[in-house]
Amino acid sequence: MVKLLDFWAPWCGPCRIMNPVIEDLEKELEGKVEVVKINVDEKPDEAAKYEVMSIPTYLILKEGKEVGRKIGVTGKQDLLKLING
Protein backbone atom coordinates (compact mmCIF):
# COMPACT_ATOMS: atom_id res chain seq x y z
CA MET A 1 0.00 0.00 0.00
CA VAL A 2 1.08 3.56 -0.68
CA LYS A 3 1.81 5.66 2.41
CA LEU A 4 1.67 9.41 2.83
CA LEU A 5 3.83 10.46 5.77
CA ASP A 6 2.81 13.84 7.17
CA PHE A 7 5.53 15.38 9.35
CA TRP A 8 4.00 18.15 11.45
CA ALA A 9 3.85 19.83 14.89
CA PRO A 10 0.96 21.46 16.77
CA TRP A 11 2.76 24.83 16.95
CA CYS A 12 3.40 24.94 13.18
CA GLY A 13 1.13 27.46 11.40
CA PRO A 14 1.64 26.02 7.90
CA CYS A 15 0.90 22.54 9.29
CA ARG A 16 -2.45 23.80 10.61
CA ILE A 17 -3.20 25.35 7.21
CA MET A 18 -2.53 21.98 5.54
CA ASN A 19 -4.52 19.87 8.01
CA PRO A 20 -7.88 20.16 6.14
CA VAL A 21 -6.12 19.26 2.86
CA ILE A 22 -4.60 16.14 4.39
CA GLU A 23 -7.91 15.14 5.99
CA ASP A 24 -9.64 15.58 2.62
CA LEU A 25 -7.03 13.42 0.88
CA GLU A 26 -7.35 10.78 3.60
CA LYS A 27 -11.11 10.51 2.99
CA GLU A 28 -10.79 10.62 -0.80
CA LEU A 29 -8.07 7.96 -0.96
CA GLU A 30 -9.37 5.68 1.81
CA GLY A 31 -8.33 2.09 1.14
CA LYS A 32 -5.71 3.19 -1.42
CA VAL A 33 -3.35 5.37 0.60
CA GLU A 34 -2.44 5.11 4.27
CA VAL A 35 -1.92 8.55 5.83
CA VAL A 36 0.52 8.51 8.74
CA LYS A 37 0.75 11.71 10.78
CA ILE A 38 4.09 12.07 12.57
CA ASN A 39 4.43 14.75 15.25
CA VAL A 40 8.12 15.73 15.02
CA ASP A 41 8.15 16.85 18.67
CA GLU A 42 6.99 13.41 19.84
CA LYS A 43 8.96 11.36 17.30
CA PRO A 44 12.20 13.20 16.47
CA ASP A 45 13.85 9.87 15.55
CA GLU A 46 11.32 9.38 12.72
CA ALA A 47 12.03 12.88 11.41
CA ALA A 48 15.77 12.20 11.55
CA LYS A 49 15.35 8.80 9.83
CA TYR A 50 13.72 10.50 6.82
CA GLU A 51 16.02 13.57 7.01
CA VAL A 52 13.10 15.95 7.58
CA MET A 53 14.59 19.39 8.19
CA SER A 54 11.46 21.57 8.04
CA ILE A 55 7.74 21.10 8.43
CA PRO A 56 5.31 20.43 7.07
CA THR A 57 6.99 17.75 4.98
CA TYR A 58 5.08 15.11 3.04
CA LEU A 59 6.70 11.86 1.92
CA ILE A 60 5.19 9.30 -0.41
CA LEU A 61 6.33 5.72 0.18
CA LYS A 62 5.68 2.83 -2.18
CA GLU A 63 6.82 -0.60 -1.04
CA GLY A 64 8.69 1.11 1.79
CA LYS A 65 10.76 3.33 -0.52
CA GLU A 66 10.48 7.08 -0.84
CA VAL A 67 9.16 8.03 -4.27
CA GLY A 68 8.17 11.64 -3.61
CA ARG A 69 8.60 14.53 -1.21
CA LYS A 70 6.93 17.91 -0.83
CA ILE A 71 7.91 20.54 1.73
CA GLY A 72 5.72 23.39 2.93
CA VAL A 73 2.18 24.47 2.13
CA THR A 74 1.06 22.88 -1.10
CA GLY A 75 -2.12 22.22 -3.01
CA LYS A 76 -4.12 19.04 -2.93
CA GLN A 77 -3.49 18.50 -6.66
CA ASP A 78 0.29 18.61 -6.13
CA LEU A 79 0.05 15.94 -3.46
CA LEU A 80 -2.20 13.81 -5.69
CA LYS A 81 0.38 14.06 -8.49
CA LEU A 82 3.06 12.83 -6.10
CA ILE A 83 0.89 9.96 -4.91
CA ASN A 84 -0.17 8.90 -8.40
CA GLY A 85 3.22 9.64 -9.98
Domains of the chain: 2-84 (3.40.30.10)
Mark residue 59 as left, alpha or beta (left: phi above 0; alpha: psi -120 to 50; beta: remaining).
beta
- CA distances from residue 40 to 9, 56, 71 in whole angstroms, order as listed: 6, 10, 14
Please check the confidence at residue 60 and state whether its pLDDT lies above 90.
Answer: yes
Q: Would the pTM of this model clear 0.85, i.e. be above it?
A: yes
pLDDT digits (tens, 9 = 90+) for 46-59: 999 999 999 999 99
Give me the active site residues, please. Answer: 12, 15
- CA 30 to CA 33: how far, in whole Å? 6
Please check the confidence at residue 42 and state whether its pLDDT lies above 90.
Answer: yes
pLDDT (0 to 100) of residue 85: 82
56 touches 25 (CB < 8 A) = no
